[in-house]
Structure 1
Amino acid sequence: MARVRLIDVAELAGVSMKTVSNVVHDYPHVAPALRQKVQAAIDQLGYRPNLTARRLATGKTGMVALAIPEIDHPYFSELSRHIAEEATRRGYRVIIEQTLSDPAAERAVLNDREAGLVDGVIFHPVRMETLDIAKLDAGAPLVLLGEAAMPVMTDHVMIDNVSAALDATRHLLASGCRRIAFLGVIAADITGSTNQRLLGYQRALLEAGVQLDPELIFTASEFTAEAGVRSVAEAIERGVRFDGVVCRDDRFAIGALKALHDSGRSVPEDVAVVGWDNTFLAAYTSPTLTSVAPNKTAIVAAAFDLLEERIAGYRGVGRHVIVGHSLEVRESAPVAPDDSDLA
């Protein structure tokens, strides 16, 4: 079947090619009745804009790239869905790239910007550091997510991880917990978020007058639920006493719930558990999981606002935007009777 052309739509609708182009590009000055007529012709013929022609005419592709470490990580999966939905609302399509935290793959994401395939990139780096990104020549507009890198000339969106960890730990303290563990630290951790969350956890304990105990910093071999199970089970076998756990993500928290169940400990009566990311899994664990909830909608909206300003020509210094978070309280760490102000 031959490709439907702009002129084919114009002939069927009985209008000029310029009018069809105005409708395709959603220019506001097209009369509603004319817009409806052209859209009916587009729908009837199944017309799709030629991206190559669009780029030649406007310098834009209508495409943005999203580069994330893991497609199947619950948080990044949910974030990708929000980004795809926001892109559609703003008239873009999304190309999703998985880097698996590989340095070469992360460099390729930024180097390929210069190929002209996309109008902009939303990128969550893990391996690449601030200076690595700053040294690259500017290609398509770029917005960073996460905590790994923050070049002064690059836009960046994140939550305040220290503050969020403070909130999670304070919640457990207000519920009466005093032997609160942190799950977990990984020897080869290359993320920036773990250290920030660990810092917030420590600050909350110190401000409450609770002595820090290195024995309560649980280590894990990798970022998986299975590693969380092993880490908590090993702590129990060593006889470590704890009545609360702040987990660096929901996968670790799910592992903690299983290890505690397997050991005969009740959640939250014996040990209260707080996860992180508030992924869809949190509402379906048993018990349901209290979790730090980054405002994913706000993260995505801020990223697109910054990206579109760059696409439109902004060339100033980087804007570093911190969006809000909350604590989604569920059964694994409920609100204490006198803790209503943290609900």
Structure 2
Amino acid sequence: MKRVRLIDVAERAGVSMKTVSNVIHDYPHVAPALRARVQAAIDELGYRPNLTARRLATGRTGMIALAIPEIDHPYFSELSRRIAEEATGLGYRVIFEQTLSDASAERAVLHDREAGLVDGVIFHPVQMGTMEIARLAPDVPLVLLGEAAMPVTTDHVMIDNVAAAADGVDLLLTAGRRRIAFLGTVRDDITGSTGQRLLGYQDRLIAAGIRPDPWLILPVDGFSIEDSRVALLRAIDRGVDFDAVLCRDDKFAIGALKALATAGRSVPAEVAVLGWDDTHLASYSSPALTSIAPDKHALAQTALGLLVERIEGHKGVGRHRIVPHSISVRETTPG
């Protein structure tokens, strides 16, 4: 199929190539009727700008990269969609990179920076540390997500995991629960988020006059639903006494619900269950899962806003932004 050229769009719309270029690059001083005519020609012909030509002309490609640990993890999947939608609204396309929390894959994302294909990168690191990222040459704009690395020179967006965990514990305490288990601590976990959530859990218990019980901090062998199911059943078999479970994510909460059903424990009458991330799993579990809800829209909007400002020339030290969280109350906690 013959490639549609800029001149083809200009001829179809009956305008100059300069006018087409102004519309493509969202030049503000184009009459609305003229802009609509050019856009109609672009849509009709299926014109796609040549990235190499655009970069030579403007220094930009109109594309950004989003690098996340797991594409199929419910939280990252939903956040990625929000970022892609927000990017489209700002006139950018998104290249997705899955690192699988592998150090070499993470370094490739930042050192290669998509070999000049993108104008900026939104990156959720797991293995790379603060100083390694801080030493990178600032040749491509970068915004970080997550809790693993927080260099002062780089923009960063996250929720307050400590405060969110404390709010979750407070919800359970208000419901009269006093033996609140934390599910859980994962062997070889390097994400950073679990530790912060555990800190908030302990802090709120102590503030309520409850001494944290090490037996209620449940070890888990991995990050899957099955791993969490097995971990909670082991705790039940050991005779660990608990009346609520705060889970590090919704996957663990689903595993907890399966374990409690196997053990014949009623939810929430006997055991309340609180998930984290408020993914689609929460709404469709049975019973429907109460879950700590990061504001994914605010995460996407804030990260894209910072990145676009960097792309457009903003300089200076890193800007660290905390976005809101809430709790979506459903059926697994007492009303």
Q: TM-score range by the shorter chain?
A: over 0.9
Alpha-carbon distance in structure 2 between the residues aligned to 1:187 and 1:35: 57
Secondary structure of the residue aligned to 2:164 is helix
> 2:98 matched to which residue of 1?
98
Q: Distance in 1 between matches of 2:265 and 2:94?
A: 45
Corresponding position: 1:277 with 2:277: yes
Quote the residue 1:162 is aligned against: 162
Q: Does the 8 Å CA contact 2:269/2:334 hold for their aligned counterparts?
A: no
Question: Are residue 181 (structure 1) and residue 181 (structure 2) matched?
Answer: yes
Q: How does 1:134-149 map to 2 (within 5 A)?
A: 134-149=134-149
Q: Structure 1 unaligned segments of length 5 or more: list them.
A: 336-343
Q: What is the distance in 1 between the residues matched to 2:114 and 2:8? A: 33
The Cα shift of 1:256 comes to: 0.4
Partner of 2:26, secondary structure, is coil
Q: After superposition, where does 1:15-164 map in structure 2 within 5 Å?
A: 15-113=15-113, 115-164=115-164
Per the alignment, in what secondary structure is the counterpart of residue 209 of structure 1? Answer: coil
Q: Name the CA distance, whole Å, in 2 between partners of 1:135 and 1:46.
A: 42
Please name the residue that 1:338 is paired with.
none
* Structure 2 Cα separation of the partners of residues 187 and 109 of structure 1: 26
Paired residue secondary structure (1:218): strand
Query: What's the CA shift for 1:114?
Result: 7.1
How far apart, in 1, do the equivalents of 2:266 and 2:287 lie? 10
Matched, 1:243 2:264: no
Structure 1 residue 116 displacement after superposition = 1.2
Task: Classify the secondary structure of the residue corresponding to 1:4.
Answer: coil
1:125 positional shift = 0.3
Residue of structure 1 equivalent to 2:258: 258
| Residue 60 of structure 1: how far off its partner (Å) | 0.2
Deviations 1:176-220 (A, max 9, x none): 111110000012110110010000000111111112110000000
**Alpha-carbon RMSD:** 0.9
Partner of 1:191: 191
- Please tell me whether the aligned partners of residues 290 and 329 of structure 1 are also in contact (alpha carbons under 8 angstroms): yes
SS at match of 1:215: helix
Q: How many Å apart are 1:41 and its aligned residue?
A: 2.1
Pairwise CA distance, 1:49: 0.9
How far apart are the structure 1 equivalents of 2:273 and 2:313? 47
Please list the CA deviations of residues 115-155 of structure 1 after superposition, one character each: whole Å capped at 9, or x if unmatched.
21100000000011101111222231000000000001000
Evaluate the alpha carbon distance shift between residue 136 and residue 114 of structure 1 in structure 2; reply closer, same or farther with a 3 A threshold: farther
The Cα shift of 1:44 comes to 2.6
Query: Residues 287-298 of structure 1: matches in 2 within 5 Å?
Result: 287-298=287-298
Which amino acid in structure 2 is aligned with residue 298 of structure 1?
A: A
Amino acid at match of 2:179: R
Deviations 1:60-93 (Å, cap 9, x if unpaired)?
0000000000001000000011011011100000
Asked if 1:201 is matched to 2:214, the reply is no
Residue of structure 2 in register with 1:309 after alignment = 309
CA–CA distance in structure 2, aligned partners of residues 270 and 44 of structure 1: 61
Q: Given residue 20 of structure 1, which amino acid in structure 2 is its aligned partner?
A: V
Aligned counterparts of 2:41 and 2:85: Cα–Cα separation in 1: 26
Instruction: Tell whether the 8 Å contact from 1:113 to 1:139 is kept in structure 2 after alignment.
Output: no
Q: Which amino acid aligns with 1:282?
A: A
What is the one-letter code of the residue matched to 1:44?
E
TM-score by length of 1: 0.96
Q: What residue number does 1:341 align with?
A: none
8 A contact 2:120–2:140 mirrored in 1: yes
1:153-188 CA distance string (max 9 Å, x none)? 000000000000000001111111111100000121
Identity of aligned residues (%): 71
Given that 2:246 and 2:275 are in contact with CA atoms closer than 8 Å, whether structure 1 keeps it comes out as yes
SS at match of 2:190: coil
Give the Cα–Cα distance (whole angstroms) in 2 for the partners of residues 247 and 10 of structure 1: 57
Aligned to 2:321: 321
Local SS of the residue matching 2:327: strand
Letter in 2 for 1:219: P
Letter in 2 for 1:168: G
Cα distance in 2 for partners of 1:117, 1:88 equals 17
CA distance in 2, matches of 1:275, 1:242: 16
Give the paired residue count. Answer: 335
Q: Distance in 2 between matches of 1:77 and 1:40?
A: 32
Q: What are the Cα deviations for residues 23-64 of structure 1, in whole angstroms up to 9, with x where unaligned? A: 111212111221222222222322111111101000000000
